[in-house]
Structure 1
Amino acid sequence: MERLKKLLIIGFVWPEPNSSAAGGRMMQLISIFQENNFKITFASPALDSEFMVDLSAFGVEKKAIELNNSSFDDFVKELGPEVVLFDRFMIEEQFGWRVTENCPKAIRILDTEDLHCLRTARQKAFKENRNFELLDLLSEEVAKREIASILRCDVSLIISEFEMNILKDVFKINEELLFYLPFLVDEMKEEELLKLPAFEERKNFVFIGNFLHEPNWNTVQHLKEAIWPSIKKDFPEAVLEVYGAYPSQKVLQLHQPKNGFFIKGRAEDANEVVKNARVVLAPICFGAGLKGKLLEAMQCGTPSVTTTIGSEAMHNNLSWNGFIEDNPEEFSKKAIALYQDEKLWKQAQKNGIAIINECYQKSNYSVQLILLVNSLLIDSESHRLHNFMGNLLQHHAFKSTMYMSKWIEAKNKN
């Protein structure tokens, strides 16, 4: 029997698969590694949350760690992981140098989640009421940190092909340092639609998204101000239900039952909510990565109306499971048409299945990921030798995060 290999995942937060797409993706990664003979320890400096997953139920060891504390050095040295996966670049900044010092042979993987610099630059352009340009990324402060983190790691998991192209074309990152890994789901057959609620059994428009994520809050604002008045004007009986974890007071204040606009807060079962809605509305104005809510809509047989940003890199130019529309007036018309026209609605459902089966098949990507990790375990020296910029950033002269952390730790002791 093959020996279990040790994987240490260092999480930005504890996984909450029912609260965010990021939590769902993390559980997908855990599943892939467990299926391929890895024993997993999940460590995080985050506080426990009410809705975090019970990692022990999935056979994963849970470990609380501290920022700017050398106790992590003892922990990681004793654990001796062969592979370390950092959840977002901020975690690699904090713990990457400690892993390198204490477990120099461990393979370092960065799960970017999405490109934070892309999301930030788009958000700035949106707030300044101007068009986003790819060159904006080169002056984005967070890009310098994020790209440095990618270069320091042996490989980074990139969720979007659009972002793969940005990293290669704009930032000139060597393709050998990148691995395209979208959301991963099982194949879906058209017959499965028959098990889902039918057109006439469903009601209402729905939006769902974690409100700790700025693009989601902005989307709900945009729905309320620019799109819902137009929908209500042409379809007075329309109802929109807005679900999402961690709604702030400013979100709750948008609740307006008389206008058919309901803020529902956290969904106990997001899948059930989407499955029983007739149409998902997601007029996303800025963001990055892939939109888990839109893939979930396809899996639930629920057509959606979204924007170019919302659908970015999600459908390989296949017909969308509904409509892609940036103009608020047209968005509203398409939403009503999709809600009222059963034939149009059923075709949109089928489009969603085609997208799932072409773009998100777990079997298409998980095998390649494990092959890559195993090849790095066999010959990391050659891989690292050719990553000169990464080696440069590992040099002590460039380790500002390390010295800052040591200074904070010393200060805390005093």
Structure 2
Amino acid sequence: MKSPATRVLVIGYVWPEPRSSAAGGHMMQILETFLTQGWDITFSSPAALGEHKADLSALGIAECAIELNNSSFDDFVRELAPDIVLFDRFMMEEQFGWRVEKHCPNALRVLETSDLQSLRDARHQRLKARLKAEPDSDDFADLFAPALAEEFQHMADTDLAKREIAAIYRCDISLMISDVEIRLLTEQFKVPATLLHWCPLMLEPPSEPFTPFEDRAHFLSIGNFRHAPNWDAVLWMKNSLWPLIRQHLPGAQLHIYGSYTPPKATALHNPAQGFHVMNWAEDALQVMSAARICLAPLRFGAGIKGKLVDAMLCGTPNVTTPIGAEAMGDEQPWPGAIATDANALAIAAVALYQDRGRWNRAQNDGRNLIARRYDQAVHGPALIECLQQCRHHLAAHRRDNFTGSMLRHHAHKSTQYMAQWIEAKNRNV
């Protein structure tokens, strides 16, 4: 008799939008990996539907809206009886983890971290402090290359880090998109390596010819405007980087694409300066393939950057910072240029834009990097193997994670009582 399909419940922070963010793209790659196994997937979320939501039902994935602080979820999860529950970011584990454990204690609990939000936030706070103290600074070398021990010092006392890392401990496995963040967690926060699995973006390496140098024009920047690092990069380009590039290339054009474009972004649109805010791109890979250079001057952030992976998939060399390139490359040449100040970024961007030979080498470096580091044929099976092994040895795995058990015992009680109080309060309103 054929064994029943593995049942997977995903609790999403938002409904996946693969064309709006790297997080949405990564979630879809995980779901597609599960589908190759014939697993039965239900995607749920308390969030409102976004403008660019993926059509999950077309893939055979069931969809279910759920509510925060509502016992209706208890009946839902008990009836579904999932074998694996995937929490999309730690806030969903905080909200629903205790309910999952109470009603489905044998379900494997997996956390999709997306990136370490506490790391991103700590870097954001440092950048804001720098800009307040030195508003005219355009050199951030000291912010871009701190040792992991220094990152730990900036994070360790924050509530966000304590919440996020507690959720990692409470789950059986956490999917980490960045191997740098794995090192930070294991070396500085002393999280056991057995609780973490490296799962970067999972892609099919490009095989078709790229659009050549002579058929491309303009610079491009792309990213969800709701993501704070992207908006900060736009401001830095507008105020510092782009004027420097235009000094060398007076006719240069920069096209900035992003979902959920706010009025403050459209207000920056200035064709006379070659600075074009283009709103959302219906096909991000198409506009990326038409551009000659991708600009990603990120001054803070975490995880890995979907825009740079898209650039490599399209054969578009990029110019970025150490923050942008973090955890994305290896010891081989970077497919473009990395710099720490506005002037160096501008010089590198102009050189790549004009030098066909350098540009072609960068394009080829990107193709090779995708094949070496992001091959779905490698990471997809590795993810399935990790989850299967953890399921088969779940009792021992949890016993070895005593800290997680202890945190669940205490935290889930307080979370449960708070949720029940909120639900009772809402009934009486």
Structure 1-normalised TM-score? 0.97
Match of 1:182 among 191, 200, 211: 200
More deviation, 364-373/266-275: 364-373
The aligned residue for residue 260 of structure 1 is 274
1:215 and 2:229 equivalent? yes
2 CA distance for matches of 1:290 and 1:50?
24
**Would the aligned equivalents of 1:3 and 1:37 in 2 still touch at CA under 8 Å?**
no
2 CA distance for matches of 1:363 and 1:382?
29
Shift of 1:363: 1.8
Alignment-mate amino acid for residue 162 of structure 1: V
Alignment-mate amino acid for residue 331 of structure 1: L
CA-to-partner distance for each residue in 1:363-383, whole Å, 9 max, x for gaps? 222212211211222221111
Alignment-mate amino acid for residue 335 of structure 1: A
Alignment-mate amino acid for residue 147 of structure 1: I
Alignment-mate amino acid for residue 109 of structure 2: R
1:164 and 2:182 equivalent? yes
Shift of 1:397: 6.3
Q: Structure 1 residue runs of 4+, over 4 Å off?
A: none
**CA separation of 1:317/1:399 partners in 2, compared to 1, >3 Å: closer, same or farther?**
farther
Gaps of 5+ in 1: none
**Would the aligned equivalents of 2:205 and 2:313 in 1 still touch at CA under 8 Å?**
no
Match of 1:245 among 246, 255, 259: 259
Provide the secondary structure at the position in 1 that maps to 2:114: coil
1 CA distance for matches of 2:338 and 2:413?
44
1:371 and 2:379 equivalent? no
More deviation, 377-386/171-180: 377-386
Provide the secondary structure at the position in 2 that maps to 1:399: helix
2 CA distance for matches of 1:41 and 1:397?
27
CA-to-partner distance for each residue in 1:248-292, whole Å, 9 max, x for gaps? 111111101100000001011111010100100011000000000
Match of 1:139 among 148, 157, 165: 157
Provide the secondary structure at the position in 2 that maps to 1:383: helix
Match of 1:296 among 295, 305, 310: 310
**Would the aligned equivalents of 1:158 and 1:180 in 2 still touch at CA under 8 Å?**
yes
The aligned residue for residue 57 of structure 1 is 58
The aligned residue for residue 332 of structure 1 is 346
Alignment-mate amino acid for residue 178 of structure 2: S
Provide the secondary structure at the position in 1 that maps to 2:235: helix
CA-to-partner distance for each residue in 1:20-41, whole Å, 9 max, x for gaps? 1111101100011111121100
Shift of 1:200: 1.1
Alignment-mate amino acid for residue 295 of structure 2: L
Provide the secondary structure at the position in 2 that maps to 1:343: helix
The aligned residue for residue 38 of structure 1 is 39
The aligned residue for residue 153 of structure 1 is 171
Match of 1:276 among 290, 294, 301: 290
The aligned residue for residue 92 of structure 2 is 91
Q: How much is the aligned-residue C-alpha RMSD, in angstroms?
A: 1.2
2 CA distance for matches of 1:339 and 1:312?
23
Structure 2-normalised TM-score? 0.94
**Would the aligned equivalents of 1:9 and 1:40 in 2 still touch at CA under 8 Å?**
yes
2 CA distance for matches of 1:265 and 1:10?
29
Provide the secondary structure at the position in 2 that maps to 1:172: coil
Provide the secondary structure at the position in 2 that maps to 1:225: helix
**Would the aligned equivalents of 1:393 and 1:399 in 2 still touch at CA under 8 Å?**
no
1 CA distance for matches of 2:351 and 2:423?
60
2 CA distance for matches of 1:176 and 1:166?
14
More deviation, 315-324/300-309: 315-324
Alignment-mate amino acid for residue 165 of structure 1: R
**Would the aligned equivalents of 2:98 and 2:412 in 1 still touch at CA under 8 Å?**
no
The aligned residue for residue 22 of structure 1 is 23
Shift of 1:185: 0.6
**CA separation of 1:333/1:358 partners in 2, compared to 1, >3 Å: closer, same or farther?**
same
CA-to-partner distance for each residue in 1:51-97, whole Å, 9 max, x for gaps? 10111001100000000000000000000000000000001100011
**Would the aligned equivalents of 1:8 and 1:40 in 2 still touch at CA under 8 Å?**
yes
1 CA distance for matches of 2:18 and 2:258?
13
The aligned residue for residue 374 of structure 2 is 360
Give the % identical residues: 48
**Would the aligned equivalents of 1:85 and 1:109 in 2 still touch at CA under 8 Å?**
yes
1:173 and 2:187 equivalent? no
2 CA distance for matches of 1:70 and 1:243?
41
CA-to-partner distance for each residue in 1:352-393, whole Å, 9 max, x for gaps? 011101111112222122112112222211110110010001
Alignment-mate amino acid for residue 205 of structure 1: F
Gaps of 5+ in 2: 131-141
Alignment-mate amino acid for residue 154 of structure 1: D
Q: Report the count of equivalent residues.
A: 410
Match of 2:416 among 394, 402, 407: 402
Map 1:2-21; keep pairs closer than 5 Å: 2-21=3-22
